[in-house]
Amino acid sequence: MSSLVLGIDTATDVRVGLAADGAVVASAAVADTRAHAEQLMLLVQQVLAEAGHAVNDLTEVVVGIGPGPFTGLRVGVAAGHTLAAALGLPVRGVCSLDVVAAEWARRGDAPAEFLIASDARRKEVYWARYDRTGRRVDGPAVSAPTELPALPLGGPGAHLVADEVAGPDTINAGLLAALDLPDAGLEPLYLRRPDAEVPTRLKSTLLQPRLAVNRTK
């Protein structure tokens, strides 16, 4: 039975890919880090249509689970869950950094050890360490750029760490769909608390009573 796998990743910007029987059919992106909710499903429909397929042709959904900022990442993970549930398809999660590492390893010029990094905002980066086969040996973690090991770099946040970027610098959602990468579960990798938090101290919404004022004539 032939397979048609949809790949979704919103750990950075909006990325969608399609793979048939392990071969990349399409890969597209919307380079906007703050339009995930508006653009993701439109891009899914576009990629399927341009490849001559409909959503009912899909056999599996693969989702990049980060690490990534809270708001954008949860859009992609939730969309993957919802789409797979609606179609009755299996869904699995993959570390987004693993996709970039796998591409570098497949390219044939990966060093013995290297780092893949992405922008974590707040002057930090998400990163993980890999061997030349693309196997993750450390991380993912979040750190200041100056705290990373001095190794060759790739990934969409590598330019925040060093001027020279040796490896791929984007997440290829087509490879996300095509490759049999390690299953990372479906829990998003936020690695830190979201910017917006529920207040721990309740504020009263009642009007404060007016103080009685004694006026003397």
Q: Is residue 197, in this structure, part of any structural domain at all?
A: no
**CATH assignment of the domain containing 75:** 3.30.420.40
| CA dihedral of 35, 124, 98, 4, whole degrees rounded to 10 | 0
Q: Is residue 201, in this structure, part of any structural domain at all?
A: no
Q: DSSP letter for 212, please.
A: P
Query: What is the predicted pLDDT for the residue at 37?
Result: 78
Q: Is residue 133, in this structure, part of any structural domain at all?
A: yes
pLDDT of 109-152, one tens digit each?
Answer: 999 999 999 999 999 999 999 999 999 999 999 999 999 999 99
**Top-confidence residue, 24 or 71:** 24
Contacts of 193 (CB under 8 A, 6+ apart): none
Residues 16/64, Cβ–Cβ less than 8 Å = no
Which residue intervals of 96-204 are DSSP H helices?
96-107, 173-178
What order of strands is seen across the sheet that includes strand 153-154? 136-143, 124-131, 113-121, 153-154
User: What's the domain range around 59?
Assistant: 1-186
Q: Is residue 213, in this structure, part of any structural domain at all?
A: no
Q: Is residue 195, in this structure, part of any structural domain at all?
A: no
5 — pLDDT class (breaks 50, 70, 90): very high
Query: What is the predicted pLDDT for the residue at 33?
Result: 73
Q: Is residue 149, in this structure, part of any structural domain at all?
A: yes
Q: Is residue 203, in this structure, part of any structural domain at all?
A: no
Domain count, the chain: 1
Q: Is residue 212, in this structure, part of any structural domain at all?
A: no
pLDDT of 166-206, one tens digit each?
Answer: 999 999 999 999 999 999 999 999 997 654 444 455 544 44
Residues 89/7, Cβ–Cβ less than 8 Å = no
